[in-house]
Chains A and B, each alone.
Chain A
């Protein structure tokens, strides 16, 4: 079956630095990808919709200047957390619709971000 990968699987960074997380669809093309954030023992909160070749669509309350999304190709979307702070520490998960779609999703394994 189709696979979505994320890199890195975990990252520790210092407060004030930026971190880039990659989401790749390995054997299918994804014009749309979704980025979620999940705090410990909580559900997934949709942050933004990543659209290939156009601007991302952010959910209400998500700062687009802080969470930069670039969907440069049909198989790659990146999420950059800029000027990270400890409260940005979370589990970030991406997903991409799978056929017949659009609602069934393939999820990446997630990236654990810890900001110290």
Chain B
């Protein structure tokens, strides 16, 4: 089942601007990840933030996690046309073993369009 909700569903910005996407989830988690998907392609792992972390950076990406609000945000700074893609958050459950091994629950995604 989908537990993540993302907003906005679609975001259109100009090159050079920052893009912020939000994700909310419902259950307790071990970690939260963000993935990118270009149209009709597989997913690429961007960044993982653990439940005991509040903020993480990777290049132009900044992820925050607020476990009290069960929410996360992904900020892409100085966006480029090549950043145009769908972005999904995914959560890993607290229990890594048994039938939960490696399972991810994906959010609905945000379609980002960066205009040159």
Question: Which residues in A have some Cβ–Cβ distance to B below 8 Å?
Answer: 4, 6, 32, 34, 41-46, 49, 57, 91, 93, 95, 97-98, 101-110, 112
Question: For residues 97 through 112 of chain B, which have their beta carbon under 8 Å from a beta carbon of chain A?
Answer: 99, 101-109, 111
Q: Are B40 and A49 in contact (CB under 8 A)?
A: no
Minimal beta-carbon separation of A75 from chain B (angstroms): 17
Assembly CA distance A79 to B41 (angstroms): 18
B33 touches A104 (CB 8 A): yes
Closest to B31 in A: A103
B96 interface residue per 8 A CB criterion: yes
Is there an interface contact between A32 and B102, defined as CB atoms closer than 8 Å?
Answer: yes
Classify the secondary structure of A's interface with B: strand
Closest to A110 in B: B42
Residues of chain A lying within 8 A (CB to CB) of residue B108: 42-43
CA distance A102 to B99 in the complex (A): 12
A103-B33, A104-B45 given; A44·B88 CB < 8 A: yes
Decide: B104 and A46 in contact? CB cutoff 8 A: yes
Q: Which of A43, A91, A101, A110 contacts B102 (CB 8 A)?
A: A101
Given A103-B33, A103-B92, A104-B48, CB of A46 within 8 Å of CB of B42: no
Closest Cβ neighbor of A33 among chain B residues: B102
Cβ < 8 Å to A, chain B residues 16-45: 30-31, 33, 35, 40-45
Tell me the complex Cα distance, A48–B89, Å: 19
Chosen A-B contacts, 27 in total, with CB atoms closer than 8 Å, are A32-B101, A43-B2, A43-B4, A43-B107, A44-B43, A44-B88, A45-B2, A46-B103, A49-B101, A97-B101, A97-B102, A98-B45, A101-B102, A102-B96, A103-B31, A103-B104, A104-B45, A104-B48, A105-B43, A106-B45, A107-B35, A107-B42, A107-B43, A107-B44, A107-B45, A109-B41, A110-B41
